[in-house]
Chains A and B, each alone.
Chain A
Amino acid sequence: MTGINIVLAGLFVCLSILAVSLVSKGNRWKALVVVSALFYYLLIGPKIFIILIMAGVTYTFGNIVREKKYALPIAVGLLLVPLILFKGTNEGHHFANYRIQSLDNMDSPIWYAVFQILGLSYLTFNSISYLVDIKRNYIAPQKNFFLLLLYLIYFPSVFSGPLHRAKYLFGQFENIEITNNSITKGLRLILWALFKNTVIAQRLFALLTLLQKSEIGGPYYILVGFLFFAYLYCNFSSFIDFFQGISQIFNIRLKDNFGNRVYLSASRQQFWKGWHITLNEWFRDYFFFIISKYDKSRKYSYLFLFITFLLIALWHEISIVLLIWGCLNGLWVVIEKKVSFRIRGNSRLRKPLGVVYHLTIASLLALIFISPDLGFLYQKIFVEAAQLPQGFMDNYLMKASILILCIGIMDIHYYLAKNKRIDEYIGMKPRWVRWFIYMKLAMLILVFGLSGGIENYYIQF
């Protein structure tokens, strides 16, 4: 699996704090440019020149995109080339690759490996949104290339977002400040992220792997899909929390990418409003709305929505399985929009039944997402005997109990936080409660944490 070493991350953050603290307020963003470029160089080495070229293309076209009619499509085309090459030449299946990476992290010497750049999607999407926003007169072109570069390579968000509109970050870059409050809030988020990632997500993945290797089959196999669904949420959202925390130390608030308790959505529409929010907003604002402009009568809205989901799926990986996954996702949302589902009867049951409905189908879709081919999945669910692994209760009870306890703790905090971010929710508690939460999370990490690294499945996309 792909992990971020906490010691190295900690050292780097300390170095960044030092760099930012040593310069005057007006120059702090420059210190962040240097630190971000260094960070990116450490991650991808000489490939950083491709990033600089892309930033140069974005900067140059940003200055002419309003005046020249064809500047925007040309720029978008140029910016998409590396990403398309990256996606088109990516080998293997993402789930299998994710496991291999833990075994062998050697660079591939093949030519197209040049475009296998960490954070390429993030950079491409942000570049496109910057140019489109200029064209739409939402923002003025950035005069300073290095400020634009910072927007594109800002190190806490370069791994896997969240995506931001340029306007959202430019203002914050000019007000970088390291204060008691910003450090406290940042550290709260980091602690929370470590708990979610090293305890819950990594334990979910271990259990998932164990189950996949067992003789589990028939309808019980959906349990694997459910675990992956839960794993992906905890893994990805904790990674975002971690880097939101790092960014918060510099008083730069990154956008929220996940709604609190999104895993308990009662419909697919509700789910997509709280899942990978910034990516979905990007596809909505820079793809769906653009093609919808040509459909004045709103006759093809559902078709466009369906195509948007297909694109999101193919962005993950260009493969038949992901195409089917995208089709099913699109169809599900379209069907929900067209057919108004209403569970009659007791209103108290409506929400829990909705959650069960969503989780069941979402788990099935998660199974498709991680299956290298659908034949294998068909075999597992419909051909193999319906059985749980032998000694299920004895072998899995303790692991499942620890997970249920920790997920319960996470969910209670999210329930109490309502729509607030976790650092703000903790900040509102009395001092002794805050310290109790800190110690509780730290002890849970020390007792149940599986590694000293923070992992992210989404890095590979």
Chain B
Amino acid sequence: MKQATLKLLVFLSALTAIILSIKGISNRPGGISHPTNFSKQTQINKGTTFYFIGSSRVRSGVAPNIIEPHFENTNVVNLGIIGGTFLSNCIVADHIIQQEGDKVLFIELSPLQDNVPSGLSTFASKYEINLLASILRITSHFSLSEKAVMFGNIVNQRIFSTISLTHDIQSIISFDEIQKERRAGLASSYAGIDRFGVSSFLTYNEIEGVSYDTNLLSKYHQTISFLKNLADQHQAQLIFFLPITFNRQAERDIVIPLYNTLPDEMKLEYSKHFLDQMARSKYLHNRNHLNQQGAEAFSQMIVPFVKNKTDKN
């Protein structure tokens, strides 16, 4: 047994040396592959702040500089995190709610997954959030085994993203640049061609058309209820909204029924006209994300709904 352990240690040492050498050559910032977009966070100096919290769809689809001019004395911050999930959105919301100042949190509805995106670590270290404590607080109604699995998954994910060499090798061989050039070439060759269709867009009819056993949403409701209580204590307003694009049907099947079970004052209600206007292939960067043109259109057209919600309250 000793001999096998020794061999394993030699193997792991050699592997570590290789990993460190490659990471040294690649010069990538350690472990941060998906930074969040909180550049505007530092510029907050006005009365009320609107925070848009969500996944990469929020990150690429919400343009604060377009929304802001429509509101007086208001600051708009995009807190979209690549790979954001329901849990990561709630962790961000938990932190933001407890900050000083008037604020409205617009939270994208996503499926609950037992892991968190790597971008959340960046967010957590920047704002000195104790991720562990935050997750424990938000998931207090989860069972012990669910918590154990969740923490196991988070640790596993962190270890894997730390030792993974995929992005380092891409960086060394300048694969990112090659891909960018290829995408640029591809985009020009497809100019005017309907590449993605509109099937990934949310439609008005399906908002009320998806059936699901609402008992299965109890974990979401408990977490939302926790955030709502916290928001009430800190004079913050919570408004949940549906993404307007989806990658997978399974995601629609979870978040649309969840949206339907929320009280009206806690959700952003899109009109049929808005969804019809947004459902255009030319607005897509890929099936699940808006391009710049799409983000501009979305940010412009969402203003009346945001006004409707924030004026009422």
Binding site for B on A (CB under 8 A): 5-8, 21, 42, 45, 96, 99-100, 102-106, 108-110, 178-181, 183-184, 187, 213, 215, 390-391, 394-395, 435, 438-439, 442-443, 446-449, 451-453
Contacts and interface: CB of A to CB of B under 8 A. Distances in A.
A446 B164 contact: yes
Interface of B: 1-5, 7-8, 11, 14-15, 18-19, 111-114, 143, 145, 148-149, 152-153, 155-157, 159-161, 163-166, 169, 182, 185-186, 189-190, 193, 195, 197, 213, 215-216, 218-219, 247-251, 253-254, 287
A452 B160 contact: yes
Given A446-B15, A446-B165, 17 more contacts: A5-B153, A5-B156, A8-B149, A21-B1, A42-B145, A105-B114, A106-B216, A106-B219, A184-B4, A213-B247, A391-B186, A391-B190, A394-B182, A394-B185, A452-B160, A453-B153, A453-B156
Nearest to B195: A390
A434 B241 CA distance: 55
Contact of A103 (B8, B156, B219, B250): B250
B166 A104 contact: no
A7 B152 contact: yes
B251 A180 contact: no
B165 A447 contact: yes
A308 to B, nearest CB: 34
Given A5-B156, A187-B8, A453-B156, A103 B114 contact: no
A435 B1 CA distance: 19
Given A5-B149, A178-B1, A391-B186, A442 B111 contact: no
A97 B22 CA distance: 39
A179 B3 CA distance: 9
Contacts of A7: 152, 155-156, 159
A183 B156 contact: no
B113 A103 contact: yes
Nearest to A182: B4
Contacts of A8: 148-149, 152-153, 156
Secondary structure call for the B interface? helix
The interface residues of chain A, by DSSP majority, are classed as helix
B248 A99 contact: yes
A453 B114 CA distance: 13
Contact of A183 (B1, B159, B213, B251): B1
Contacts of A438: 11
A8 B4 CA distance: 21
A389 to B, nearest CB: 10
A180 B3 contact: yes
A181 B7 CA distance: 12
B250 A183 contact: no
A394 B163 contact: no
Nearest to B178: A398
Contacts of B145: 42, 45
A199 to B, nearest CB: 11
Given A8-B152, A448-B166, A453-B156, A103 B1 contact: no
Contacts of B112: 103-104, 106
Given A104-B111, A443-B18, A96 B152 contact: no
A95 to B, nearest CB: 11
B250 A96 contact: yes
A102 B153 CA distance: 12
A109 B216 CA distance: 7
A357 to B, nearest CB: 35
Given A6-B156, A390-B195, A100 B14 contact: no
Contacts of B161: 452
B216 A452 contact: no
A108 B190 contact: no
Nearest to A6: B156
A443 B163 CA distance: 10
8 contacts: A6-B160, A109-B215, A183-B1, A187-B8, A391-B189, A395-B186, A449-B160, A453-B156
Contacts of A103: 111-113, 248, 250-251, 254
B265 to A, nearest CB: 26
A100 B249 CA distance: 9
Contacts of A442: 11, 15
Nearest to A185: B4
Contacts of B8: 183, 187
Contact of A104 (B152, B160, B186, B254): B254
Contacts of B185: 394
Contacts of B193: 390
B211 to A, nearest CB: 12
A271 to B, nearest CB: 31
A254 to B, nearest CB: 20
Nearest to B3: A180
Nearest to B219: A106
A439 B7 CA distance: 13
Nearest to B114: A105
Contacts of B250: 96, 99-100, 103-104
Contact of A390 (B143, B153, B190): B190
Contacts of B157: 451-452
Nearest to B156: A7
Contacts of A183: 1, 4-5, 8
